[in-house]
Chains A and B, each alone.
Chain A
Amino acid sequence: MALVLNEEDDMLRDAARGFLADKAPVAALRKLRDEDDPLGWSRALWAEMAQMGWAGILVPEEYGGIDYGMVGAGLIVQEMGRNLTASPFISTAMMAVTALRAGSEEQKQKWLPAIAEGKSIIAMAVDEGVKHDPAKTALKAEAYGNGYRLNGSKAYVIDGFDADALIVAARTSGEPGDEAGISLFIVEKDTEGLSSLRTKLLDSRNYALNAFDDVDVAGDALIGTLDEGFGLLESVLNVGRTGLAAEMLGAAEQSFDMTVDYLKERKQFGTIVGTFQGLQHRSAHLYSEIELVKSAVLKALQMFADAPTMAGAGAALAKAKAGEVAILAANEAVQMHGGIGMTDEFDIGFYMKRIRAAQELLGDYAFQADRLASLRGF
């Protein structure tokens, strides 16, 4: 497929751009933070997004979605990155939907229409340690009665606080570090023994520490095949990684645009600072890097439909490159803005914080680079 957007994609992006700039700009995130919003995102806004079809962008039409595909999801989340819009789009509309599409007919009937309507929020509970490493899953699920009993805890669960359900990666056999022996379960919010604590991170988004203390679920809570959930988990994570890459691309683009605008107006030494070659060359380099990210992200998005067996490599490439360049964009933005870039009143700090979190989530540069090196045989 050509690495260009079609007319329909352009329309979707323009609609997202207009809506988000109007309804969910950086000022909205600032307000959520300053008011110490318990959720960290706005239910009213999510309902509006659902009405536009965004919550169901990956949901099949028979379950009430629009099934637009990953390119559309990527375009929306890229615009969210530009505006730092807080929403459960990546956790619920991208990752949870991908997991549930591999579920049983009953699971799809129960959850997919509710997600598409914006009524259900579902988070993926994967990480346990301080670095992303899904194979190290230790949270235990043992056969118990007609179902399973879960014990352990999950940390840094994206949008996991107050979610209606969690999709949990659990160890049903083998040892932490083994890819075999991992299974996925869906666990509803009010299940006895499940607790949820909001973790406040630097980017003011919703993260949870979810503890499982003898949490019993029925046999039909299993998504996919027992002990063989790692492949499905990876598919879900690849969708999330690519989503985060698209978000970081948007955040990097916006940081860069703000910086170039500033270089054109700020005067020092009696001239516009944008005339200085030292700043021009750094800006031109950053421009080039962002162009590479655009290509990597678009390719990764297209691969989910065009070359599914390569989607893992595409996601790793996009996540690594987007994370690296977004960090550079944020750092250069603060440096080139000078003192004002260090103030809380100015927006750039919000970008720097979100980018730092997004590049860490679901595997940082070193994690993705290691995967790619192994795939490439070195």
Chain B
Amino acid sequence: MSDLEEFRKETCAWLEENCPAAMRKPMRSEADACWGGRNAVFTCDEQKLWMERAGAKGWTAPEWPIEYGGGGLTREQAKILKEEMAAIKARSPLVSFGIWMLGPALLKYGSEQQKKHYLPQIVRGEIRWCQGYSEPNAGSDLASLQTRCEDKGDFYEITGQKVWTSYADKADWIFCLVRTDRDVPKHNGISFILFDMQSKGATVKPITLISGRSPFCETFFDAVKVPKENLVGTLNKGWDIAKYLLTHERAMIGDSGSGGDIGGRSIGQITVDSLGTDAQGRLADSALRADLARAEIDGWAFMLTMERMKDEAKAGQGIGARSSMLKYYGTELNKRRYELLMASKGHAGLEWEGEKSRDGELPRAWLRTKGNSIEGGTSEVQLNIISKRILGLPAS
């Protein structure tokens, strides 16, 4: 038996023993996700158990080094883990900005002490993170951010405002872009810093969206004191970290909008559940069927592209600006898919309140997708990046 076959066998056995039955069915909605954190709210005991077991094994971050609490798996092993989890329909044990975004940045730019301190906590789901990037006057033009960070000798003092901070009201800590030099070109005076959201002077205010939900907040900092060792990387070189991290964020947003199943069913199957088929087993609405097939073709090709980019990255070809392609395509695709789901549910898809629709789960999710192509850099910004950095088309 090859090493990989051996690993697959061990993985199956471990999952069989450790993944609780309740965690072996697809999430019905975002509400079923496990975010961890100091004030974690679990939907059931099994959810907590699953996060703790996977965290202790390092399999919430399978490819991070073992010394920082990760699983230490190779790309091939991680792929096998993913496949075997999918085979038993295991839920992701932990959904975490720490794993998707901060972790990769710390692994690349953090000090040894920072890695040893923060990464194991992220793996175990003990600290929930939020990302302090956008400001009221720094959206697509992120580098013009103005939140001030002043050196007060023994500590830094941060004053300013962030906006669109995802789950700031639920997060324990923030990784934040701040201005540390106002007298240089905008990209050269930004730093990357971490602090506790319980710090004196930090306040949050949720923003109600068109979906009626509030995944985002306005976040205010009034002379927040931050220890100096919380600065990541070099002072005034935070834009490099921001760009690196945006690459991960874009890939992640693209991934979440991928062509995969929703609640364990393909969009075509969901439509069949809703509308039924003709005698040949086909959707009777041939125009809708054609649109669904097109979305599934693009969805499958997109997922394969995500896979190829990861494989190429492992083979030493950095993903670089191509993350903009993933972000652009994945989010636009997700919007298309939700338009089709709305069509597949007909009038029932319009219900906003009521048990049948779980209080309008679908229309709220549909509205939420509209932000996918805005957050993390709009589609138009991604197309600009592709034009400039990949195609080499000149700036106007």
Check B312 against A280 for contact (C-beta < 8 Å): no
Check A369 against B290 for contact (C-beta < 8 Å): yes
CB contact list, B260-279 vs A, under 8 A: 266, 268-269, 271-272, 277
Selecting from A11-19, A201-209, A269-277, A349-357, the interface stretch reads A269-277
Q: Does B296 contact A (CB under 8 A)?
A: yes
Check B308 against A272 for contact (C-beta < 8 Å): no
Q: In angstroms, how far is the closest chain B Cβ from the Cβ of A326?
A: 14
Interface majority SS (helix, strand, loop, mixed), chain B: helix
Q: Does A241 contact B (CB under 8 A)?
A: no
CB contact list, B240-278 vs A, under 8 A: 266, 268-269, 271-272, 277
A residues in contact with B393, CB < 8 Å: 260, 263-264, 274-275, 279-280, 283
Bitwise interface map of B from 280 to 298 toward A, beta carbon under 8 Å scored 1, else 0: 0111000001101110111
Counted as pairs of residues, one from A and one from B, with CB atoms less than 8 Å apart, the total is 132
Q: Does B383 contact A (CB under 8 A)?
A: yes
Q: In angstroms, how far is the closest chain A Cβ from the Cβ of B380?
A: 7
Check A377 against B395 for contact (C-beta < 8 Å): no
Query: Number of residues in B with C-beta < 8 Å to the partner?
Result: 47
B residues in contact with A279, CB < 8 Å: 393
CA of A263 to CA of B395 in the docked complex: distance in angstroms?
Answer: 12
Check B304 against A296 for contact (C-beta < 8 Å): yes
CA of A317 to CA of B294 in the docked complex: distance in angstroms?
Answer: 10
Query: Number of residues in A with C-beta < 8 Å to the partner?
Result: 41
- Residue of B289, B386, B393 ringed by the most chain A CB atoms within 10 A: B393
Check B395 against A275 for contact (C-beta < 8 Å): yes
CA of A292 to CA of B394 in the docked complex: distance in angstroms?
Answer: 25
CB contact list, A7-50 vs B, under 8 A: none
CA of A144 to CA of B276 in the docked complex: distance in angstroms?
Answer: 48
CA of A280 to CA of B387 in the docked complex: distance in angstroms?
Answer: 6
B residues in contact with A284, CB < 8 Å: 325, 328, 382-384, 386-387, 390-391
B292 partner, pick from A275, A281, A298, A378, beta carbons under 8 A: A378
CA of A142 to CA of B281 in the docked complex: distance in angstroms?
Answer: 34
CA of A126 to CA of B158 in the docked complex: distance in angstroms?
Answer: 73
12 pairs from A and B in contact (CB 8 Å cutoff): A4-B311, A260-B392, A281-B384, A288-B386, A291-B322, A291-B325, A294-B305, A295-B301, A320-B297, A321-B297, A369-B297, A378-B282
Q: Which residues of A contact B (CB under 8 A)?
A: 2-4, 260, 263-264, 271-272, 274-277, 279-281, 283-285, 287-288, 291-296, 298-299, 317, 320-321, 366, 368-370, 372-374, 376-378
